[in-house]
Structures are given as structure tokens and as C-alpha cells.
């Protein structure tokens, strides 16, 4: 069975685990860097990206994460997870993992819209995806090899670049498992053909 990890330093870990388990995969709660070697894909949950990057550095995850990216093992970054995957952060800290050719602006929906829900069409996932946004970032620029999967009010909120998937919202906070299913399919396709 496919093994997918959920980085368990901060954020909605349990909800991601449940959404993945509903898609028939083995889920590994990642608490130590070396556990990354045993999984075929990784979910990078939301939370607070400054805190998350500190914890990643403090507990020595950075190098293993970079290897994961270099090996093109699939990663699904949601909200703060998406921020940490970007090549560029607009008007903010230095970028972190640079796994995707996207520029991201943190907290870009402004104070009035700290958190809200919207129904979105997400390419290849579904026409009616309930999206929960919490102090969400916007993907303000995408490179040529990046596919835009969803927009909200003309702003990009979900994108894919090969095995890497990022979204501004929290698909783990609804009962709808289709976005996780889409990620599981990416992980499955990325497996080497045996025999």
C-alpha cells in the first residue's frame, strides 16, 4: 500500500490523516526527519509558516525535506505548507523549500476576510469544492511549468507543478476527500513501475 506522511510539527495533522486514510493509504505521522525516507509522498499542513520553518530547522528536517524535493517525491502543501514550498515570498521572509515556481503573498485576503468559505471549481478535482480559507495566502505569480488549478476572485488559490501541489485553503477541514484523493493519485503515478 502507498505510504503517505503528514508532517506533524504544527497544524491540522489529525484532519489530514483522516482525509488520507479515507483514500486507502498507509499514513505515517512524521515526527522525526528520518521517517521521511519511508514515505512515498508528504502532506505539509497549514499553521503558521514562520513558526513552522523554525521548527523544521530546530528539529533538523530541512535537509531531508530538500532531498524529498530533489527526488521529486510528491508534496501537498496547504496554506502555510504552500507558503513554505514557494520560490518567492512577496514582501516577506526569504523563501524556504523553493519546490514550486510560484510567488506567494502571505495573509493576502486582508483583515476583514481573516477566514471565510467559498465553493470553487478545482481543475481535475471537482466543480464544487468547499474551500475553507484561514488567514490565507494568495499565489500571486506562477511560472510556465505550473498549472493553475483554482482561482477565487481572479486570484490563484491552487496550483500544481508535476508532483508538487499547493493550495491556499484547507481541504482537510471538510468531509470532502476529493482533493486528497487527487494527491494520492499523483503519488501513485509517481511510483516506479515494478517488473
Catalytic residue among 15, 16, 167, 170: 170
Cα dihedral 30, 171, 116, 91, rounded to 10, equals 60
Catalytic residue among 79, 105, 167, 180: 79
48 is in an annotated binding site: yes
CB contact set of 7 (below 8 Å; sequence gap of 6+): 13, 30, 42, 43, 44, 45, 61, 81
Q: Is the Cβ of residue 40 or residue 133 nearer to ligand GLN in the bound state?
A: 133
Q: Is the Cβ of residue 80 or residue 184 nearer to ligand GLN in the bound state?
A: 80
134 is in an annotated binding site: yes
Nearest one of 162, 154, 159, 170 to 186, comparing CA atoms: 162
Minimum gap (Å) between residue 34 Cβ and ligand GLN: 26
Minimum gap (Å) between residue 52 Cβ and ligand GLN: 7
106 is in an annotated binding site: yes
Distance CA 184, CA 94 (A): 30
Give catalytic status of residue 79 as yes or no: yes
Distance CA 88, CA 103 (A): 4
Q: Is the Cβ of residue 2 or residue 132 nearer to ligand GLN in the bound state?
A: 132
115 is in an annotated binding site: no
47 is in an annotated binding site: yes
Q: C-alpha angle with apex 159: 38 to 25, nearest 5 degrees? A: 30
Distance CA 74, CA 43 (A): 9
Interface residues toward ligand GLN, by CB under 6 A: 46-49, 79-80, 83, 106-107, 134-135
Q: Is the Cβ of residue 87 or residue 106 nearer to ligand GLN in the bound state?
A: 106
Grid look-up 506522511 returns 5
Minimum gap (Å) between residue 78 Cβ and ligand GLN: 7
Minimum gap (Å) between residue 48 Cβ and ligand GLN: 5
Distance CA 163, CA 172 (A): 19
Residues with catalytic annotation? 79, 170, 172
Binding site per annotation, positions? 47-49, 106, 134-135
Binding site per annotation, positions for L-glutamine? 47-49, 106, 134-135
Amino acid at each position: 500500500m502507498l505510504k503517505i506522511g503528514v508532517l506533524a510539527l504544527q497544524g491540522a495533522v489529525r484532519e489530514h490523516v483522516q482525509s488520507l486514510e479515507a483514500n486507502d493509504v498507509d499514513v505515517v505521522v512524521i515526527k522525526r526527519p528520518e521517517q521521511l525516507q519511508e514515505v512515498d509522498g508528504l502532506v505539509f499542513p497549514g499553521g503558521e509558516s514562520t513558526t513552522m520553518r523554525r521548527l523544521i530547522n530546530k528539529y533538523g528536517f530541512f535537509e531531508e525535506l530538500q532531498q524529498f524535493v530533489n527526488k521529486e517525491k510528491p508534496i501537498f502543501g496547504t496554506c502555510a505548507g504552500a507558503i513554505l514550498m514557494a520560490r518567492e515570498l512577496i514582501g516577506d521572509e526569504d523563501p524556504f523549500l523553493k519546490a514550486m515556481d510560484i510567488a506567494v503573498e502571505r495573509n493576502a485576503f486582508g483583515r476583514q476576510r481573516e477566514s471565510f468559505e467559498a465553493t470553487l471549481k478545482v481543475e481535475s478535482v471537482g466543480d464544487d469544492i468547499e474551500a475553507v480559507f484561514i488567514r490565507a495566502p494568495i499565489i500571486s505569480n506562477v511560472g510556465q511549468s505550473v498549472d493553475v488549478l483554482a482561482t477565487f476572485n481572479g486570484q490563484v488559490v491552487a496550483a500544481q507543478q508535476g508532483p508538487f501541489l499547493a493550495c491556499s485553503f484547507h481541504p482537510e477541514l471538510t468531509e470532502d476527500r476529493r482533493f486528497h484523493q487527487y494527491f494520492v493519485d499523483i503519488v501513485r503515478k509517481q511510483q516506479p513501475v515494478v517488473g
